[in-house]
Structure 1
């Protein structure tokens, strides 16, 4: 019966009861009631609104109700219905019975047939009342009850007609909404879906608070669906779900878990929508609908229910597509992992193994990283996409279970597939095998990262390393090998994982690409971890030895020393390994400047070399170098004697060492520093004899010279210098040695040898000019002292010529020496001039003397050009005197004996005439000399000029010399 839900609405809103009904009720309910009644009839009250209408206008007071059981009241109403023949009373009784049963529960004791018979009688009463047309403006209620009675008795068309009359005549009746809804129900039941839709739609107008609203909207959607209007039905169903979802939220539940009629409506709506979508484009229809109405909080249910529908229809691909469509649209939603899981199940149920594997991969790729982000692990993995918000604390457990299962299956699947591909492939690179190994490695690695507490995590890490290694991803393999060995606790694969990491590091090092500093350091750390964690493994000494050599090669000398010492002390180390490590230890200590420890290590290595003479010789050189460095360290620290002892010890311990010469040489150098001259001379002399071809021998003479000089043995030093000067002739070194040797011989009094060397010097080395010109002067002086005027004058002339050609190199000293040499040479000419006598025939002798005069004058006139003041005044004085001397010599020249007195007198006059110009010239030159006093020059030669002038011209110069207050030392 479609009307039972509205029975309570009719309480107190039916026909006006007769006084008879009221009296009967009072009697039957409370025959012994108190004088004050619990309610009374108010005949004068008129209803203002529908809500004010009361059945029979009963006015209830706040008095205690009679203590009569409800069942008894219901029984008496039934009895009244059967006994009365008044239509109004029957209908009113029927309404009251219905209200009581709705309020207090179904306490009916009659059968369906009895109930139907009851309503047949009521219909007669309804028709009689309608026929009279008198019902106090409550025709809408009467029509409603009539329709209800027709419906209950199976007269559906009459029921529909009554309802249509009600909504047509009374559209504003409080019963109109339900009546309109019932009209829709009737049309729907008759398959009249368009009319049903129209009726449902009308029932929705301004009735959102009606309890029929949700059902009406739901049925309108069905009506649209039945007409094939899928878009309209979809929108309608969405509106239903929107309302129900709000209720579900208020109840803190969801659409699928709602209780009561609302839950049934929600589930029915979802099923209806799934059918709608399945008739259209499947999941595409959902996408299009949501594009129109927007995404909904329950969007997941639309895709899920459709997928479930397809699955129940064994449409596995469609089911998977529906779930996939949700993921594509809501990839970050927390329900997307479950939808991906349902895709896998769909393909599994449909028997699509390849697609199952593909979807499992997709699950891992989509949610593996997101799971890690939530905090499960530490590795960051390769993914096609990352659904950061898809995993929450709420679904994490489910995702973890699926992820764990799929990763385990996928990693194993690809590892086995790679092995099969490798076994089938020919020699060479197998790209398919490598590709599968790479995938296996990725999945093993993600498995470890996602589930670090798994009991098999160590094995998984090892298998990840194996997978990456076999796919030629060596650097990635190292990471997982090391994780398996050192970060996953104790397990059966740890040892081999650690060793595999080392071997893989070695392959990387020996590969085509140069190893980076970071990679090299990583390798060392890996080896150190292995040798520490698995120190009792028989491979450890060899690994440590390799590590020591690696440290040495990379200049990590402290680590090399430590690693080599670990090999030396390891009980499982072989003789060969110890020998190798002693060598590394020696090299490391040598680089660390611990030369004493290096010497010891090299000695220990030699002891383990047996008869390997060539190797022994090589190591002994390193040993010698260690001793040598010890000497250097002592010298640097200020202990020169300690350094000497180490240098000399090297020669005693390893006399065949190539470093012996250097050590002996350095010992001599330090002896010189300590002024151990005699010892140094002995060592240096021995060095010259023992190592004549050694480049250091070239510097020995200098050091011997120095030592001999410091020890006072100048002649020995000079001999060394002479020998040195004969090497690399023309070099500055040779030149300086030759000059110094000459000086040493001169200082030692061996002047003859000194001059010989000096003569060689000025012959071979015109530069530097100062030494060159001084050498000429020294040689000239030497010959002067020896009385060899000829050679003296030769060297004086060379000196003058050398200075004249010196150009810009001339200096005050060279000019002085040249002027002095010129004066000496001029003096010789003056002496020859003075010695020449004027004899008869005078003309002949005068010619000769005049020639000597010219020579002297020329020489004297050049001297002032040097600008040497003291020599300039001397030259001027002597020039004047040579003129005066000639005049005087003319006057005292020999007279012819044949002259008479007169002739002699005339001859004298003639001589005076010849002598006079020379006397005048002498006066002129002397006056030039004394004129230099104006320039502050007043020396002995100027003074002498004054005196001569006083003699020659007494009237002019005997009055005394004019003093100008000059300094007689001014030159």
Structure 2
């Protein structure tokens, strides 16, 4: 049913359509100064006509004021109307113009007053004012020439107030009094609409008819024709109504429905719905067939049948709906829309829920309009879009058929359902193979065959569904294909078949793992495929598969994958990659002890072969590193000790002493009971010595001195150890080594003597005086019991130094004793110290070693001189009187003088060494002492006597 139009939504803005002569009234407002200046002087007030004479205002100097806004214009008209008389014909124009202004202002206020109550009130006031002005104009000037405009304005103002009765009356008067008005047809259309809304259908039909037959009716023709059809329909004139609806359809000359715009589709649907409704009241398809046999020209005939069918469908008259479409097909079998009508019948039965009817309708549709049918033989290109639409719909319906029978077969396992499902799958592939991937047909077809236990055909369709050359297009299908290939490989009986299925299993598995690395099935696929590939000696494929694992989780499957990958790397001599793989397995908690041991040995061997390869290529450093790494990563493997020993040997061969030392230490720590332990110890000492690690070398030598069988090696080891300790300031260790040597090896004499001498030096460094003196005495004792024939210069030098050391010690004691009371006791102590010191100095001098002889001679002289001075400065006994004290001092001088003389003589003996070109500090000091003791005689030739020998 069409909508009734209550508002003037189609009215033009007629208030701006006044005659050109009337529009000049606007200029009046521009002279508001003149109008406002009229006041009460009628004689001087200008009329509207004089204001309307625009020629008077060409000179800008004559213009006193210019209106600036519509309010100014409005005020000018109001002012004019205040003074204009009814006899002034221009007053009617002024009333209309002011009404137009007021109406416009009211519209603007209403448009902007959505939330402002005050503005809405003001708008209504202006609307009332508009109506008042227009009513006044009609009342005061009933025969005015342009009252049709005034009535049109008044109708619109009433309509704005929702006063439809007054609107109707204004339009009625306009149509009655002004049949030649430009608003006449619109007034008649509105009156027809009012009559239709009031259910006065005969009156509405008449007025619509008047518009339809009128001239210049283009604006209202189509709507009037359509509404007259409905007016006739309401009067049950269904054939006449159909005539109008057919006319309006033909008038539009609609294109294909799919090409229409949204607004055009709305009209299309409305008009055809009206046709369908009309013929539903006439009885349906038979009257429709008869009607169109008698109608010469009708556009879009199918849609009329379709609309009638839709009408029956809404009324749930399913059989009538289908019969209508069947009637169309019978009447027009070669029509462009015959297939569409047949398809619509299938949809109607489906919507109605009649399964068997839908099935039969679809079978008929498929038989008549499938892409290879005779219907499309010469129509595919002519009805290309329709063909594509029908083909798509057919495809969707076949999908429904396959799904229906497939599901029934799943539930009941009836052979008939399998046969039907298989048939429709094949039909689909026959017509729509290009869409099979899109609709997942191969996957579904494969699942049907799999449920039917036909693995070969299931594999075929899973393969088609899942793969497009080297790309997986359906993950689930690909997985199923891989699984079936595995099963069929296991079932293969001959080598040729096995080879085929092996490739069909492994290659898709690789693709699957590449494209879906994180899929839940990927790990199982890789695990199974890599195992099969390795067992069939396809090591490269094994590696490719295993390397596709990206999961960081620990699981038995991943462990197995890593194991076969490692073995495959090893088999292909990719030892570095094998190492990495085995390494990841060594700490894998998922591995059994047996597998872990296998991984450990594999890791060791992979590294060992890397070392061997590097050694063959003369890359010694790299070989050493590889050999050495084995013991770090797999210390308990059977290969580790051999690898480390090779690393040591190559390091020493390459004079890489520091690495060799590290490797030897590691070897001794890891393999202390190894059969090559002694050889390793010797290599370590050599490495230490060559790398200048003296302390470490000393320790190793010291250890070797206990383990070696050779006495000479043991002696040399101890002495070298002591030397190294001493060189590197490890005094305690040096002392320990020397003591061990002295205790163990008293022969031969010279190294024994040297060891003791070194020991005295070390005790001097440690400031252990008493221990040093002990070994000095040991030296002299050993020297005394050793025949001179066994002594060499070094032995004499050592003995001489030992005597000097002991003499110095006694000399210090001598110097500390002071000749104070009790004088006798202290004098005795001092003499004893003097004699002991002089004896040791004399012995030191007796060896004939110049370095010690000059010191000894100087020291003896100094001792005598010091003793002489000590006597002279000794404390005088208290019991002596002055004379006795004087006599006592004279006696002391007599006692002291011989010692001073001896001192001078020994100093002079030291000077004699200059004759042998010896002039050291002791000779120099001796000369200085002589200058001090005898300044007058310091240049005299010293008296040289063999005092030393005398002392001995």
Q: Would you call these one fold, judging by a TM-score over 0.5?
A: no
Structure 1 length as normaliser, TM-score? 0.40
Structure 2 length as normaliser, TM-score? 0.40
